[in-house]
Each structure stands twice: as structure tokens, then as C-alpha cells.
Chain A
Amino acid sequence: MYFVNTLQYRAAAVSGMCTQFFFGLVMIMVYVVFYREHPEAYPTGLQAIVSYVWLQQGFLQMYLVIEMEQFDAIVDGTVAYELCRPLDLYGMWFAKSLAGRMSRALMRCVPLLLASSLLPEPYGLRAPPTLQAGVLTLVSMGLGLLVAVAIGMVLYGAGFYTLSPLGIRTLALSCLNFFGGGVIPLPFFPEGVRQAVEFLPFASMQNTPFLVYGGELTGGGLVWALSLQVFWAAALIALGRLLLRRGMRKLVIQGG
């Protein structure tokens, strides 16, 4: 149902895709020039970064967003209706956010990734180096999606306490974008900073799967990154549940 719902906004999706494509192209051109001029300072292979940027643009709506809908529900009181339903609020919002992200991302990623794979070397998206990397990317993307939704849920939970969730949302979006690798891929962070940032939950969203795709994460590092994803997903879901339950107890619905 939700999938069909979001499919309606086709015009917005098309223009969004064009913008994403242009952004991706501009970013990649810069990274290619950097690679040509200073290959020795490059943290990874060039193809891995190109794939990283394209996947990020394709799946932008999956990871680097925080939906407004639930915040609105808290502020305008729609949450009261939700509470009347015989369903667990956390579970329902979680499923809603998951479905929304998947449908928006799936609709946009197919044309965008197709178009980007048609670009000439070295600008285009290419298949992952091994089949194993491809399969593990899918696994890791799923885990990353759980982490992303769980982060969103924690913020909704925090929204009950402030009643001015818009401020929180903008600040959180900046953090998400920067520490998630949306501004520049995490491997470009300076040594020392990078190691610290990689431990944060934000790195477990899109950074891990996209590095796996480029074949940059293998062996022990891969196992560590995947377990970190599982850990953050579990921890954040637990935290979100707690916040939501607590918030519910002090929730006052103001008037009819």
C-alpha cells in the first residue's frame, strides 16, 4: 500500500533523479581529477570511490533522510489516532519508515544506476569485482537500512521530549550526512578521525555496504564491520523502544 502511495509522485522523482545524477557526476569528476594528479594520496582504488558515489546517489532516499511524517504526528497530535490502533507503535512506525525508504529508493535507484553504468571509464558504475562482494553488499545494505531506520526512531522518541523537533531534525540531518559519508566518502577523512568516525552508528548505514561493493572491505575488516552493523541495529532499536515507551507515558494530547 505504502509503495503505491509514494509511486504517485513521479514528477518529483524524475527531477530528483536528474539532480542526483548531476551531483554524482560533478563529485566524481572532482575525485577523478584528484586521482590523476595525486594517485599516491588516494585511500582506495578509484573505481571503489566512483561506485560509492553512484550507489550513494541512487540510494539517497534510503539512508540519508529523516522523514517528517512521524515528527508531524507528534506535534499535531495525530499520534493519538495511532495509539488507538491495536498495534505496537514502535513496530508500526518502524515498518512504515522501512517501507517508505525502500519504495522511494527502489523507484529512483534503477534508472539512476542504469544511466550511470552507461557512462564511459572511469566515470561509470561497474559491477562489483566478485560475486561474493555483490552478495555481501546486499546483506550489508539490509543491515544498514535497519540502522538508518533505528536512528530515525530514536530521534522520533526524542521528539516527544522537546516539542520542537524541527531543530533536532536539521541538526541530526547534518550529522547523518557528514558522518555517514554523504559529504565525502569516509575513506577520505584524515587518519585518526576516520577510525573514530567509522565506529559511530552513522558509518554503519551506507558506508559499510558501499565499501563492500567496491571490494575495499574483505577478511577480518569485513567481519568486524558487519558485526558492528548488527550491534548498532540492535542497540539503537532497544534505545528507540525505551525512549518511545517513556515518551508515551508523559505524553499529553492537548485538546480535541
Chain B
Amino acid sequence: MRLYFQFVKMQFNSDAIHRLSFFFRCLGQFLMSFTEFLGIFFLLNRFGDIGGFTAQQVLLCFGLAYFSLSAAECVFSGFANFPKYISDGSFDRMMVRPRGLLFQVLGCRMDFTRLSKLLQAAVILACGVLGGGISWTLARACTFILMLLGGTLIFSGLFIIYAALCFFTLQGLEIMNVLTYGGREMMQYPIGVYGKGFLLVFTFLVPFACVQYYPLLTLLRPGCPWWWALLPLAGLLFFGSCLLLWRFGVRHYKSTGS
């Protein structure tokens, strides 16, 4: 763990050297998600509510989506860059070092520019939390935190899958963007809005609905089954299966040669 913080410090210092460029990249990230926010704000302003959810409650979803993805991107961007490590042989070097592979890939790269997005998402979340008409109790607060953690775990798991598939294809499969960025796009609204089919796919295939729709309902509507509040734990399950895939991939890996 101490070594990990060493990595973090190193990465941060290397970013801090190019201060202006770092600032611009942060600003770029910030603007990108801010325009998305303005877009959804204009829509909600015009229509007021969607599918029985108020504007503030939708913002809660929006904040959740951006918070989870940016947190995952910040910590797991080593996995997003993974195809490069395979093709330039960095991964072979990692294999001969006496440390865990996951740990080394994690330490390879951290994208601090995403923090600007994370901060913005946190502000939006705060608006949703305060204005969403939820009467907060300790149990509900725990559910809410579980939602954030579960969402982050799912997106992180997707990055791991992306990297693990590289063991077989040797190059990045851009198709995974459907799940990561498409997932974020979809999570901006309560998933129930999209109808039964979508809800089923994103409950059982990639459990986005488990960290967003069902627990959100327990926060808002009385009379939901109590165990819906625990569904964000499915994120942990998903993350675990992604790790298994990664293990399987590592065992299958034959180097790309020198």
C-alpha cells in the first residue's frame, strides 16, 4: 500500500511539472461534462420531470453516472492504456517483477485531470441529495454510498475487461466504449425510463440498474422490497468476475515477441 502511494505521488509530480498543460486538460474535461450537464438541465427545465422522477432526482442519476465513471477513469486509467503495454512489451517486463500484476498496471498511470469531472459530479450529486425530496436516514445514506461504490466498481470492472480481452486480441477493442461511455450516457436517466427490455439487460448482463434504478427506488418510494437497497453489492460481484477474467487472460497470455 505504501508503494501505491509512492506511485500516486510520482504521477502527481509528473503532472504538476507541466502546469499549464495540466490546467488546460482539466478545463477541457470539465467543459465536456459541463456542456452535458447544461444539456440535461435545459431538457429538465423544459419538461419538468420524466417517468415520474423530478428534475432533482434525475440529476442524482446524472451525478452518479459521472461520479462513478470519473472515479474509475482516475484510478483505472492504467487499464484503459493497457493495449499499449501489451504491444510495446511493458507488460512482459511487469511479469518478471516480484509484485502483483494488477497492482503494477494500476500504478502505471493515474489520470488526475478526471478529478475536475469528479468534483463537478460531486456538486451535482449534492444538489440532487438536497433537493431530491429524500428523507435521509442512516440506512438510506448507507444505500447511497453503496450506489456510488457499486457504480465505480462496475466501470472499473469494464476497464479490466477491456484490458483482459487484449490478452486474446492483442489490441484494444473499441467496442467496449458502448458499455463504458454508452453506460454513462444511459445512466444519466433512471434506467426504468427505457422500458423493460433495457432494464433486464442492464440488471443481469451489466448490473447498471442494480447500482442505480432499484436502490434509487428504495430511497424515493416507500414499499419497495428492502433487499433492493443491498443490490449495489452486485457491483462487487461484477468486479469479482472481471478479475477472474483477468486471471484467465494472464494465464493465456503469450507475449507479442520482441
Contact = CB atoms under 8 A, between A and B. Distances in A.
Nearest to A167: B24
B47 to A, nearest CB: 5
A38 B175 contact: no
Interface string B1-40: 0000000000000000000110011011001101110111
Interface of A is mostly: helix
A167 B25 contact: yes
B6 to A, nearest CB: 29
A16 B174 contact: yes
A166 B21 CA distance: 9
Interface string A7-21: 000011011101100
Interface string B39-61: 11011011111110000000000
Contacts of A189: 42
Given A30-B193, A166-B21, A174 B32 contact: yes
Interface stretch (B87-95, B104-112, B177-185): B177-185
Given A18-B178, A37-B47, A174-B32, A167 B21 contact: yes
B76 interface: no
A68 to B, nearest CB: 14
Contact of B175 (A19, A23, A26): A19
Contacts, number: 100
Contacts of B198: 29
B194 interface: yes
Given A19-B177, A38-B47, A29 B21 contact: no
Contacts of B25: 166-167, 170
A183 B46 CA distance: 15
A170 B35 CA distance: 13
Interface of B is mostly: helix
Given A164-B21, A166-B24, A190 B42 contact: yes
Given A18-B175, A34-B50, A183-B35, A23 B42 contact: no
Given A23-B185, A30-B50, A170-B28, A15 B174 contact: yes
Contact of A184 (B39, B51, B193): B39
B175 A170 contact: no
Contacts of A38: 47-48
Contacts of B31: 170-171, 174
Given A12-B174, A170-B28, 9 more contacts: A22-B178, A37-B50, A37-B51, A38-B47, A171-B27, A174-B35, A184-B39, A184-B43, A189-B42
Interface of A: 11-12, 14-16, 18-19, 22-23, 26-27, 29-30, 33-34, 37-38, 41, 43, 164, 166-167, 170-171, 173-174, 177-178, 183-184, 188-190
23 contacts: A15-B173, A15-B178, A19-B175, A22-B178, A23-B182, A26-B186, A29-B195, A30-B50, A33-B50, A34-B50, A37-B47, A38-B48, A41-B48, A166-B21, A167-B25, A170-B24, A171-B24, A183-B35, A184-B39, A188-B42, A188-B46, A189-B42, A190-B42
